[in-house]
Amino acid sequence: MDNEKKTISFEPKGMKELSNLLEANKDSYHEIWAVLTKKEHANPQPVSFHEAQTEAIKQGLVDSRSKSLNDEKYCVRFTKRRIENQ
């Protein structure tokens, strides 16, 4: 199946899990959605937006969209960076 159409989502319980899940899935899925807890509903947050974004960038991914799921959680979409022909 073409990975351009495949999507996966998960709710990481910590940075190590986020890193492992991104690494394991970035070549198999076009879109990776990470479900995060809003900072006002978790102290401390399992994974913050900034931490997720930083880890994704390290792995060659970019965040391109986020959406609220409910009062406590939201999700962020990560996709591979496009390499432009030079």
> Around Cβ 55, how many Cβ atoms within 10 Å?
20
CA 67, 73, 75, 76 dihedral sign is positive
Per-residue model confidence (pLDDT) at position 59 = 95
What tens digit of pLDDT does each residue of 19-71 get? 999 999 999 999 999 999 998 998 888 999 999 999 999 999 999 899 999 99
pLDDT above 70: residue 16? yes
pTM (2 decimals)?
A: 0.84
Task: Give the DSSP H/E element, type plus range, for residue 7.
Answer: strand 7-10
Tell me which amino acid residue 75 is.
C
- Token pair for residue 35? 């479900």
Q: Is 28 exposed, middle or buried (0-12, 13-18, 19+ CB in 10 A)?
A: exposed
Q: What domains are defined for the chain?
A: 3-80 (3.30.110)
Per-residue model confidence (pLDDT) at position 43 = 84
